[in-house]
Amino acid sequence: MLKKQWFPKTQLKIALALMILLTFLAYSLFASQVSAEPTISLSINKIEGYNLGSDINGQFTVSAKVSSEVVRVEFYLNGTLQYNDTAGAPFSWTFDTTNYALGNYNITAVAYDSSGQQATAVLSQNFVEVPVFWSIILPIIIVVGSIALIISYVWSLLKASNPTKCPKCGHTYTPNRILSIKLGNFAYFTRCPKCGNFFWGKSIKDKPKNDEPSPSTSPDTLTEDERLRKDIDDSKYEDKT
């Protein structure tokens, strides 16, 4: 009995399918053996000191944000190793600029995974002296301003207060300078000593001076009887000698 012959076209299809299968198996095996390359990025945070843009002075921390496979990070300053962090994430290095000469520096961090693959990130900073304004002038301004505010507040408590009137009982009194909240010479948050009512009260204007006639007693507004009575009262105080 004659065996069935395979046609060349069928053999070609079988060979192509076997090649695809072998390629897929080889890729899967290689991918399982090789891990992804690590990644890293840097940021800097001030602990104490001065920073403006890339100009810094004082204590700072450089933090490395890395991918999960990273096991250690080396920190370099202008190519010189400063710290090897193997404690695990988060990876960081704390330094003080006063321990180094002034000038521009490249802070380099190199991240390593368990298979030895690495990734690098660089951060450029300028180590500077603290400007005179920030180290001397600004603290003086803050201290002087604080003292001025305290003096102003104490003075507002000690200076004479204008009277106010309770809207509940109508009692007119001068608010206690210590127990009242005063807004200039215009209003108080105070408590009426007569009825105990708390309220925002407006200041009552000072009474006219003795030598300024009251509008109600002005000679031009008095009746004939009132003017005669006033002349009699005034005559009591005239010098009889």
HSE at residue 33, side-chain half, CA atoms within 13 A, is 6
3-state secondary structure of 181: strand
* 45 and 115 inside one domain: yes
Residue 117 lies in a domain: yes
Residues paired with 144 in a beta bridge = none
Structure tokens, 95: 């330094």
Residue 76 lies in a domain: yes
* 118 and 188 inside one domain: no
Pairing label, strands 164-165, 118-127? unpaired
pLDDT tens, residue by residue, 37-74: 899 999 999 999 888 889 999 999 999 999 989 999 99
What integer pLDDT is reported at residue 210 of this predicted model? 47
Please give the tally of structural domains in the chain.
Answer: 2
Residues paired with 62 in a beta bridge = 44, 93
Residue 11 lies in a domain: no
Residue 22 lies in a domain: no
pLDDT tens, residue by residue, 173-204: 777 666 666 665 556 678 888 888 887 777 66
Q: What is the mean pLDDT of residues 107-123?
A: 94
pTM above the 0.85 mark?
no
What integer pLDDT is reported at residue 12 of this predicted model? 67
Structure tokens, 143: 């201290």
Domain boundary (106, 127, 148) is at 127
CA separation for the pair 54, 39 (Å, rounded):
24
Highest mean pLDDT among 110-114, 136-140, 215-219: 110-114
DSSP secondary structure, 26-95, as one string: HHHHHHHHSPPPP-EEEEEEEEEEEEETTEEEEEEEEEEEE-TTEEEEEEEETTEEEEEE-S-SSEEEEE
Host domain of residue 71: 40-127
Residue 79 lies in a domain: yes
3-state secondary structure of 148: helix
CB 195 within 8 A of CB 168: yes
Q: Residues 211-241, buried b or exposed e (16+ Cβ, 10 A)?
A: eeeeeeeeeeeeeeeeeeeeeeeeeeeeeee
Banded pLDDT at 101 (limits 50, 70, 90): very high
